Amino acid sequence: MEDVQAAAPGPTGAPAPTAIGRRSSLRITAASLLGALSGYVVLAVVARSVSLEENAVFVTFWSALFTMYGVLTGMGTETARSVAQAGLHPGVAGRSSVAAAVRVGAGVVGLGGLLLAATGLHVFDAEHQVLAFVVALSAAAYAVEAVLLGALSGRGRWDAYAGMLGLEAIARVVLVGAVAWVAATVTNVAVASGAAAAMWLVMVAVSRDVREVFRAELDAPLRAYLGRVSFAATASGASAVLLVGFPVLVKMTTDKAIFDLAAPLMLAISLTRAPIMVPLTSFQSVIVAQFVKNRSGAGRTLTRAVAALAALGVVGGAAAYLVGPWLMAFLFGPDYRVEGWVLAGMTVASVGTAILTITAALTQALRRQVAFVAGWLVALVVSVGLLLTGLPIDQRVVGALLIAPYAGVVVHAVAIVRELRRPVAAAA
């Protein structure tokens, strides 16, 4: 039996979107888990290759890099929605293409990132300011990947989608491992980490599906598409801070002397979130595309996803409490011990962030852009407020991670319920 069945081509001859099948779903899951595993490996390799203080710098870089990637995920999810929608109603005049989105997206992100790096954002000290330029250049490369992943998702080209995810993860481990072996400095391993975002070039060379999506239609002219992307990028920017950029937020709200000794806590944030959030983030474009194609079943799908995540959080939290401290010391060395209650709290907190991510995807698929952005911004504001309470750093971090996401979920849930109650004809 074929894994997916494509709908008949539209009037223009463009392939219609295809539903995801079991085999492709497993491949995307495997590639996403490989991405999570690669993050563990990179963090472990760097932790054992540089000093504790240098690793605090690298973890900050890692968070800044993946925060930028997270911002650009908004381009991918909007591209997925736009391409999927265009596939349902092909042949409309005046539409733009994925190729145009790639050119504009990479140019704007690259130029904007370099300008920000040149002005000297207060994330890195003067000695490590070059890392800001590494983040900017890697983000420009990832902008292309984000658009291509979105287009592949919107077209239902799941095997190529999984291949691009997997290739980037493997390349990052190989590059960082090689550099750490030869010349382990913070700058060198940072460059190696950022360079993996350019692996889409290999996929363009070897995959016909990837080359073909450059010609895929968007569901609107380029200007309208970019307007929607700006909404998506604003929301994904707030989400990226909560998902992967949280150590940067902690650094900006914590005394330098305290933060310099907080590398174990910052690593714990990344490690406890990765098992749920990395696969889920990789699936965001898939989620949006599926919600667009199956609006009537969106509520049931959301309910099942929340129940599954809650169960996973309970099991993961218990495991983190029991074996987490030992695992941290085993992976990163005796200097990286974190209390069990902190690891359990962070693991359970990742469930709230995962639920917020799914409600955001459904809100975006329903084209409730203001609520989509507002949910993430509310969660971010609550998070910052909790980090500024003056409590010990571990209590501030766990409290912010646990409470803030649900403030955003409430905003999304109100919009979702209102939209799903509207007749389909009125919502179209």
Please give the single-letter amino acid code of residue 192.
A
DSSP 314: H
Instruction: Look at the chain and count its residues.
Output: 428
- Residue 15's closest CA among 142, 155, 121, 125? 155
DSSP 8-class letter at 253: T
Distance between CA atoms of residues 175 and 355, nearest Å: 33
In angstroms, the Cα distances linking 217 to 15, 80, 132 are 10, 11, 34
For residue 217, the cross-strand partners are: 97
Nearest-angstrom CA–CA distance, 428 and 426: 6
97 beta partners: 217
Residue 49: what residue type?
Answer: S
Tens-digit pLDDT profile for the chain (428 aa)? Answer: 334 333 334 444 445 555 556 676 778 778 877 877 888 899 889 988 888 778 888 888 888 888 888 888 888 888 888 888 887 766 665 567 777 778 777 777 777 766 666 655 566 776 777 888 898 889 888 988 988 998 898 888 888 998 999 999 999 999 999 999 988 888 899 999 999 999 999 999 999 998 988 888 888 788 888 888 887 787 777 777 777 778 888 888 888 788 877 888 888 887 787 666 665 665 555 666 666 666 666 667 677 777 888 888 888 889 989 998 998 888 788 888 889 999 999 988 888 888 888 888 788 777 787 888 899 889 999 999 999 988 889 899 999 999 999 999 999 989 888 887 776 545 54
The span from the CA of 390 to the CA of 247, in Å, is: 17
